């Protein structure tokens, strides 16, 4: 057993915390109001070579481990969850599938510029008729000589307005069910491809959430990612890694909200004493601290298993499920501790609360994750 971060992980944590507090935090409230995308932040992160963090050096990455990835996502989310999800999706949904299933040529062409931060990574799975039930994908791809012709649409796709290309799933053989789904790498400037970003969201306002429309989009056969018919299996594997990112986001948001609540409780005086002297408030803060610590340990464990090359499906599901649910409770209680002030934008915890809700929905809803865990522990 070893509970210390390595020297590198510790340094990465220091750098990203300084960076988050120095370069990300100050604009977070304004971006929440205007919905402006944190493009400048990502240009600066690219300069620090953080945009390819876990990918091989050969493809412009830095070869860091998954724990370091979780640390970066946590620290960004602690000050700005929109920045956190953008980064998490870039790495774990955008870059990871190409890194895991791409050919050498595909990696050179798509992973290297992504890792250098020349564009943001995205992943197109969800459709209006296919959410939790991703097997219900309707987007179809029909072979025409050396090309495939794609038609259909995707919804709620993170980062696509800033992506030069993305992996998405389409049905290539309807008769085979989930084994008839294939992943394609599609350049976003392809003829017939459009990206629309006009959702009005509850939170994560500065994150880019889009609809994709494909009308007779042609891609060469070589743009198939991985194996024809394996698209479904591949994205399940991608989501396992993505859940570590969402878990880390939850830990970061909760940590940020908790720190604000603790500071407020020590300042605010009622009945002649600070809130932090009331046992009812102390217990709320104690529960927050406990839940955050437990969730962080589980996120690290899932990341560690992944780094060891071991199976981590169950642990990633547990980490994401526990972390996202505790994050909602922590943000709720952070507002409670702030009283009326907590309901106001000025005190920021309401932003954390709105941003946190997505974590119980994206990359597997809480219900779906309980199904995953049930399956992993042998229920049938």
Partner 1 sequence: MNIIVCLKQTFDTEEKIVLESGKISEDGVEFIINPYDEYAVEEAIKLRDEHGGEITVVTVGPERAESALRTALAMGADKAVIVDDQGLELDEYSVAKILAAVIKEREYDIILGGNMAVDNGSGQVGPRLAEELGIPQVTTITKLDIDGGKATIERDVEGDMEVIEVSLPVLVTAQQGLNEPRYPSLPGIMKAKKKPMERLTVDDLNIDGDVSAKTSVTETFLPPKKEAGRVLNGDIQDQVKELVALLRNEAKVI
The binding site for partner 1 (CB under 8 A) comprises 7-8, 10-12, 14-15, 18-19, 47-50, 53, 57, 62-64
Alpha-carbon distances, residue 371 vs 64, 255, 367 (angstroms): 31, 28, 6
Smallest separation (angstroms) from ligand FAD to the CB of 112: 22
Q: Smaller CB distance to ligand FAD: residue 12 or 234? A: 234
- Interaction partner, residue 176 (partner 1, ligand FAD, none; CB < 5-8 Å by kind): none
Query: Is 203 within 8 Å of 355 (Cβ atoms)?
Result: yes
Q: Which residue is nearest to ligand FAD (CB)?
A: 131
Among 19, 55, 69, 123, binds ligand FAD (CB under 6 A): 123
Neighbour-count burial for 276-297, b at 16+ CB within 10 Å, e otherwise: beeeebeebbeebeebbeebbe
Task: Give me the least distance between CB of 107 and partner 1, in Å please.
Answer: 18
Q: Could you give the 3-state DSSP secondary structure of residue 246?
A: helix
Does the annotation mark 315 as catalytic?
Answer: no
Residue 92 binding partner per list partner 1, ligand FAD, none, with a CB distance cut-off of 5 to 8 Å that depends on partner kind: none
Output the CA angle 80-316-255, nearest 5 degrees: 30
In sequence order, what DSSP letters do the residues of 299-350 get, joined into one string?
HHHHHHHHHTT---HHHHHHHHHHHHHHHHHHHHHHHHHHGGGGGSGGGSHH
Per-residue mark of binding to ligand FAD, 80-119 (x: CB under 6 A)? ---------x---x--------------------------
The continuous run of DSSP H or E covering 45 comes out as helix 39-47
Q: Which is nearer to ligand FAD, 261 or 368 (CB)?
A: 368
Using the minimum distance from each CB to ligand FAD, give the nearer residue, 168 or 224. Answer: 168
The verdict on 368 binding ligand FAD (CB under 6 A) reads: yes
Kindly tell me which residue out of 197, 289, 294, 361 binds ligand FAD, with binding defined by CB under 6 A. Answer: 361
Q: Which of partner 1, ligand FAD, none binds 240 (CB below 5-8 Å, type-dependent)?
A: none
Choose one: 37-45, 73-81, 294-302, 364-372; the region binding ligand FAD (CB under 6 A): 364-372
Instruction: Pick the closest to residue 244 from 72, 101, 83 (CA basis).
Output: 72
| Whole-Å CA distances, 146 to 169, 221, 281 | 19, 6, 66
CA dihedral 130, 87, 85, 287 (to 10 degrees): 130
Site of interaction with ligand FAD (CB under 6 A): 89, 93, 123-126, 131-132, 156-158, 204, 209, 358, 361-363, 365, 367-368
């Amino acid at each position: 057993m070893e509970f210390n971060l390595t020297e590198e992980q510790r340094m990465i944590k220091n750098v990203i915390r300084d960076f988050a507090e120095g370069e990300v935090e100050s604009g977070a409230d304004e971006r929440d109001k205007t919905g402006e995308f944190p493009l400048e932040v990502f240009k600066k992160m690219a300069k620090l070579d953080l945009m390819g963090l876990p990918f091989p050096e050969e493809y412009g990455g830095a070869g860091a481990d998954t724990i370091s990835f979780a640390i970066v996502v946590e620290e960004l989310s602690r000050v700005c969850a929109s920045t956190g999800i953008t980064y998490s999706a870039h790495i774990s949904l955008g870059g990871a599938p190409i890194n895991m299933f791409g050919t050498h040529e595909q990696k050179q062409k798509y992973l290297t510029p992504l890792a250098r931060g020349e564009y943001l990574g995205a992943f197109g799975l969800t459709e209006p008729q296919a959410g939790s039930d991703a097997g219900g994908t309707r987007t179809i791809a029909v072979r025409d000589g050396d090309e495939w012709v794609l038609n259909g649409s995707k919804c709620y796709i993170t980062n696509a307005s800033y992506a030069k290309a993305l992996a998405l799933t389409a049905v290539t053989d309807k008769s085979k069910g989930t084994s008839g789904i294939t992943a394609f790498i599609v350049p976003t400037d392809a003829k017939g491809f459009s990206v629309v970003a006009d959702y009005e969201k509850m939170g994560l306002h500065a994150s880019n959430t889009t609809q994709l429309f494909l009308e007779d989009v042609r891609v060469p056969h070589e743009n198939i990612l991985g194996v024809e018919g394996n698209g479904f299996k591949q994205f399940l594997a991608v989501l396992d890694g993505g859940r570590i990112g969402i878990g880390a986001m939850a830990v970061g948001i909760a940590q940020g909200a908790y720190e604000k609540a603790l500071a407020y409780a020590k300042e605010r005086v009622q009945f002649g004493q600070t809130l932090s002297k009331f046992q009812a408030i102390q217990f709320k803060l104690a529960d927050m601290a406990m839940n955050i610590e437990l969730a962080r340990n589980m996120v690290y464990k899932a990341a560690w298993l992944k780094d060891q090359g071991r199976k981590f499906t169950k642990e990633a599901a547990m980490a994401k499920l526990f972390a996202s649910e505790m994050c909602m409770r922590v943000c709720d209680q952070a507002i409670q501790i702030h009283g009326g002030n907590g309901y106001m934008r000025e005190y920021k915890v309401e932003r954390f609360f709105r941003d946190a809700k997505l974590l119980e929905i994206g990359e597997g809803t809480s219900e779906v994750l309980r199904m995953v865990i049930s399956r992993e522990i042998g229920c049938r």
